[in-house]
């Protein structure tokens, strides 16, 4: 039976360029969907992305969004995080435990939480043991939605963006993993400080808490050796590239890794 779905995980360290690549992929998807519609109306149109336009439904999963969903007020995950880490605010930060939760919105202050866990590997594991299983459950729901889009004529490509894809062991069942790497630590620190309003020390703690590119590649190699799966690793170096060059990289990936195999 011919496979009807391809799942691609897009990973890499924080502020490595994943979101930029994803934004360009969304543009490619919009163009491909336009061409699909035109092809159904006029089969003579030729696609500049591919000579024949394969019929594909696309499904995008953002684990950042699912992470926010996991922390939503009054969910079991929300209450467990407050129960476990509320008492540590005073112990680790010397501040009132109430700062962990916003008084008006009741949302968990993830910056305060980050100050507690990013310097302590044991506390980080305690947090991820609470949050990652819930995110995985939400991923499974999204994957089922993706599979449901497959029809006799349409295949499905599911793109999942996840900074901790390999750390969290979410690569099971994925066909390809793209590892986005900006390489330049100075650029990453500057981006992260500006984007998340962090101090350089806070930003460095977050970067240090994640696997580096070589560790991601090694873990994927070990995964393939231990399982019957053969996850393809695709290394994407964005260091020193202009925004236009990064866009060209994304378009080429879309052509060769997303579309080409489905002709």
pLDDT string in tens for the chain (263-residue length):
457 899 999 999 888 889 999 999 999 999 999 988 888 777 654 444 445 678 899 999 999 999 999 999 999 999 999 999 999 999 999 999 999 999 999 999 999 999 999 989 999 999 999 999 999 999 999 999 999 999 888 899 999 999 999 999 999 989 999 999 986 788 889 889 999 899 999 999 989 888 989 999 999 999 999 998 899 999 999 888 888 999 999 999 999 999 886 65
Global model pTM greater than 0.85: yes
Return all residues near 114 (Cβ < 8 A) that are at least 6 apart: 202, 205, 206
CATH 2.40.37.10 at 5-64+133-262, yes or no: no
Q: Do residues 258 and 26 lie in contact, with contact meaning Cβ atoms separated by under 8 Å? A: no
**Domain boundaries along the sequence of the chain:** 5-64+133-262
Write out the E strands in 165-242.
176-181, 232-237
**SS3 of 43, please?**
coil
**SS3 of 16, please?**
coil
Q: And the tokens for 168?
A: 């969290």
The dihedral formed by the CA atoms of 217, 222, 227 and 232, expressed in degrees to the nearest 10: 20
Report the Cα–Cα distance between both ends of the chain, in Å, rounded: 16
Alpha-carbon span 68 to 135, nearest angstrom:
9
């Amino acid at each position: 039976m011919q496979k009807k779905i391809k799942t691609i995980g897009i990973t890499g360290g924080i502020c490595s360029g994943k979101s930029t690549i994803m934004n360009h992929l969304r543009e490619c998807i919009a163009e491909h969907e336009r061409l699909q519609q035109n092809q159904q109306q006029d089969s003579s149109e030729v696609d500049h992305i591919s000579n024949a336009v394969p019929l594909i439904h696309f499904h995008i999963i953002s684990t950042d969004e699912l992470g926010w969903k996991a922390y939503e007020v009054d969910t079991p995950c929300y209450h467990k995080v407050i129960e476990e880490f509320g008492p540590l605010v005073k112990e680790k930060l010397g501040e009132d435990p109430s700062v962990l939760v916003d008084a008006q919105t009741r949302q968990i202050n993830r910056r305060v939480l980050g100050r507690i866990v990013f310097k302590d590997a044991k506390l980080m594991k305690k947090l991820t043991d609470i949050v990652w299983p819930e995110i995985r459950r939400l991923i499974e729901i999204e994957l089922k939605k993706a599979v449901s889009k497959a029809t006799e004529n349409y295949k499905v490509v599911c793109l999942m963006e996840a900074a901790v894809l390999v750390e969290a062991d979410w690569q099971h069942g994925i066909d390809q993993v793209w590892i986005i790497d900006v390489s330049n630590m100075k650029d990453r620190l500057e981006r992260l400080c500006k984007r998340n309003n962090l101090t350089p020390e806070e930003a460095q703690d977050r970067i240090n808490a994640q696997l580096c590119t070589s560790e991601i590649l090694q873990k994927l190699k070990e995964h393939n050796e231990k399982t019957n799966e053969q996850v393809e690793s695709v290394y994407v170096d964005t260091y020193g590239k202009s925004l236009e060059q990064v866009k060209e990289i994304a378009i080429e990936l879309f052509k060769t890794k997303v579309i080409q195999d489905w002709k």
